[in-house]
């Protein structure tokens, strides 16, 4: 794994704002960091002006306080919050994982749902928290290949395919609606007949079945 430098900073911008991505415009979203320690070669966030550079993340250390303030002033609490349009809640950085846990705990204990897309390893304590609130959680696990060599090349700091499959099994078994996200498809690398057949087979064994609706679709969100 590449060494990652964490740069603490205070967030000045608002939290719980809709994403500029059209597919997430119906949900309040939160990024805990600028940049992402998973360092996927194909990551679109590399093109953002706030991208801090290779193997660096800016950690918005006051995010929990900003969310508390926002919820105190918001007249209608959100139905759910989405993590994270341009980073990942479960990066292998202790400070990010700890902050993520406290934010999830705050939201879930207030009855606010959480949805996330991750290519990371969910820590045991966080997994227990999510499973304790399964009715209010929607999970998406990104997985593009079973080939660990390909995964390490394109997603050097993300969890291994085996860890992600195990997490899919655990989330589904715990009653959390869980999608596998097979994006991006890397032409000629991850889309060969063999690669796709093995990946679909592994996902089926992990418990995946038919596609799920989008997490907390607009009809479910205040
Ligand atoms: S996990 Fe997502 S946000 Fe993080 S580097 Fe990979 S593609 Fe980018």
In DSSP notation, 75-118 reads SS--SEEEE-TTS-TT-S-HHHHHHHHHHHHHHHHTT-EEEEEE
Assess contact for 165 and 126: CB atoms under 8 A: no
Which is the closest atom of ligand 1 to the Cα of 120?
1
- Inform me whether the pLDDT recorded for 222 exceeds 50: no
Is the minimum distance from the CB of 88 to ligand 1 under 6 angstroms?
Answer: yes
Assess contact for 177 and 80: CB atoms under 8 A: no
Per-residue pLDDT, 210: 54
Is the minimum distance from the CB of 43 to ligand 1 under 6 angstroms?
Answer: yes
Nearest CA among 216, 121, 219, 218 for reference residue 171 = 121
By CB neighbour count within 10 A (0-12 exposed, 13-18 middle, 19+ buried), where does 113 fall?
Answer: buried
Sketch out the chain's domains with CATH numbers: 14-30+63-208 (3.80.30.30)
Residues 186-213: tens digit of each pLDDT: 999 999 999 999 999 999 999 876 555 5
Is the minimum distance from the CB of 119 to ligand 1 under 6 angstroms?
Answer: yes
Q: How would residue 218 be classed by pLDDT, with cut points 50, 70 and 90?
A: very low
Distance 37 CA to ligand 1 centre (A): 8
Residues 2-52: tens digit of each pLDDT: 789 999 999 988 898 877 776 767 789 999 999 999 999 999 999 999 999
Distance 88 CA to ligand 1 centre (A): 6
Nearest CA among 108, 117, 99 for reference residue 171 = 117
Nearest CA among 142, 135, 144 for reference residue 216 = 135
Distance 214 CA to ligand 1 centre (A): 19
Distance 120 CA to ligand 1 centre (A): 9
Distance 200 CA to ligand 1 centre (A): 22
- Inform me whether the pLDDT recorded for 58 exceeds 50: yes
pTM for the predicted model, two decimal places:
0.91
Ligand 1, atom 7, residue with closest C-alpha: 43
Is the minimum distance from the CB of 190 to ligand 1 under 6 angstroms?
Answer: no
């Amino acid at each position: 794994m590449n060494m990652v430098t964490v740069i603490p900073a205070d967030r000045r911008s608002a939290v719980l704002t809709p994403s500029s991505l059209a597919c997430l415009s119906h949900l309040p979203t939160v990024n805990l960091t600028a940049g992402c320690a998973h360092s996927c070669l194909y990551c679109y966030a590399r093109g953002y002006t706030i991208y801090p550079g290779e193997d660096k993340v800016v950690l918005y250390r006051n995010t929990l306080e900003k969310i508390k303030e926002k919820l105190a002033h918001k007249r209608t609490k959100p139905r759910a919050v989405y993590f994270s349009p341009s980073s990942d809640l479960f990066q292998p950085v202790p400070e990010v994982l700890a902050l993520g846990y406290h934010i999830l705990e705050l939201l879930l204990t207030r009855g606010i749902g959480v949805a996330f897309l991750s290519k990371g390893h969910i820590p045991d304590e966080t997994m227990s928290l999510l499973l304790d609130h399964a009715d209010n959680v929607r999970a998406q696990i990104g997985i593009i290949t079973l080939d660990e060599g390909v995964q390490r090349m394109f997603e050097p700091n993300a969890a291994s395919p085996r860890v992600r499959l195990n997490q899919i099994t655990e989330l589904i078994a715990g009653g959390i609606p869980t999608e596998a996200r097979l994006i991006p498809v890397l032409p000629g690398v991850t889309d060969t007949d063999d690669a796709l057949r093995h990946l679909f087979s592994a996902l089926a064994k992990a418990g995946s079945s038919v596609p799920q609706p989008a997490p907390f679709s607009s009809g479910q969100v205040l």
